[in-house]
Amino acid sequence: MDFEPWWLIFVPLLFALGWIAARVDIRQMLSETRSLPNSYFKGLNFLLNEEPDRAIDAFVEVAKLDPETTELHFALGSLFRRRGEMERAIRVHQSLLSRADLPQADRENAQHELAQDFLKAGMLDRAEQAFEQVLDTRFAVPAVRALIRIYESEHDWPRAIEAVKRLRALVDEPVPQLVHYQCERAVSALTAQTPDLAAADAALDEADHAAGALRGQSKGQASEARIAMLRAHLARLGNQPERERSYLESVLTTAPEYASLVAADLLESYRRMGQQKEGLQVLQSHYMRYPSLDTFNVVFRELRAQQGHGPAWAFARDALRMHPSLLGLDRLLEAELAVYDADKATERSPAQGSATTDNVQSDIVPGADLSLLRSLIHKHTQRLDRYACRVCGFEARHFYWQCPGCNSWETYAPRRLEEIK
């Protein structure tokens, strides 16, 4: 095909069209920029400079000038909630919901944001209602998770369990706390004014089923230990001593780290069956494999009661030599002082009383004052004689399956602070 000279006419025409198009884009950009108030850019600048208070003031001014700025309202609501100004955050999101022309997607988003405002403000009833309104939207999963937290904080275990089932229908992921929800149902049935043994047994069956998904994981041991302890309690209330002992002994094998929580109950179970010597042997053997302060305390006291002072102190020396512990020594001295005080209370002869004290003192420090020694050690061990949450660090004198500080489950190790430091 031959080149025609008149085609050159199109070259300047194309340049002219490009120039016009560029001018139109620039004018549109300038028009949009001029339409944005200066406060908008001031707010962005404050955010970049990490000055949220001044940024909020600037954005509030923009919102007053242009109430149709939906995204800006969402940003304002989030900033208010982050700062803890829940009343202002709620007002922002409620004002969005009051707009009749709000698109459905934005309406669902505003409803979810409002539910989060209510939750953070502690208005659980209103938060529950707000989250229920978005259960059939794209916010279903976070809404169900929030409802689980609400029911958990209210100790409404049946509704929490139903919410977990709904979550499992939405996402395929394990929910470890489901085991404890069922266990809490069992606890409620067992501690009622009239214990409902059948309801407790059914709840523990459900808990065992939920724990099946956790077996082989680190958290499975805690779940199995709690279920076994509750089944032992159920057996005791049902006057089934053999089953009670069987469940307690199962903790020693399936969850050995949690044996310290059942040591005293296991020994008492053996005692009720007239087999306290066998119970002591079981615990002493377990302690050699899995030493813990609480098990040490139970074994030492029982040795003292069954075999006397000599074997008990021999065990204590060996145990403290292998696992040095101020808290263990404090427990040991406490037990000895309790025995000595009991001897004094029964009005033993002065000669017998002094002989007992001299024997104890000579085994620790010759000529030492036992009560003074214990009081000095006790001052240092009080802060170590606690359990601690590994998530928030909340310390407690009693073991909890759920941390009272951060409400996390299974975050307490069944060991005292001195043992895990």
Binding-site annotation, residues for Fe cation: 389, 392, 403, 406
Cα angle value 348/350/352 (rounded, 5°): 65
Go through 294-326 and write b for each residue having 16 or more CB atoms within 10 A of its CB, e for each that does not. Answer: bbbbbbbbbbbeeeeeeebbebbeebeeeeebe
Residue type at 377 in one-letter notation: I
* Opening angle at CA 280, ends 276 and 281, nearest 5: 120
Residue (of 164, 167, 166) closest to 184 by Cα position: 164
Query: What are residue 388's phi and psi, to 5 degrees?
Result: -135, 140
Q: Mutual orientation of helices 350-364 and 309-322 as an angle, nearest 10°? A: 20
Q: Record the tokens describing residue 221, joined without a space.
A: 């041991």
Pinpoint the alpha helices (H) of 124-195.
124-132, 140-153, 157-170, 177-190
Binding-site residues: 389, 392, 403, 406
Which residues touch 397 (CB under 8 Å, ≥6 apart)? 385, 386, 387
Judging by beta carbons within 10 Å of its beta carbon (0-12, 13-18, 19+), is residue 381 exposed, middle or buried? buried
Residue owning tokens 């005791």: 236
Angle at 206 between CA 203 and CA 212, to 5 degrees: 145
Is 267:283 a contact under the CB 8 Å cutoff?
A: yes
Residues 234, 372 contacting (CB under 8 angstroms):
no
Strands (E), 70-135: none
d(CA 146, CA 153): 11
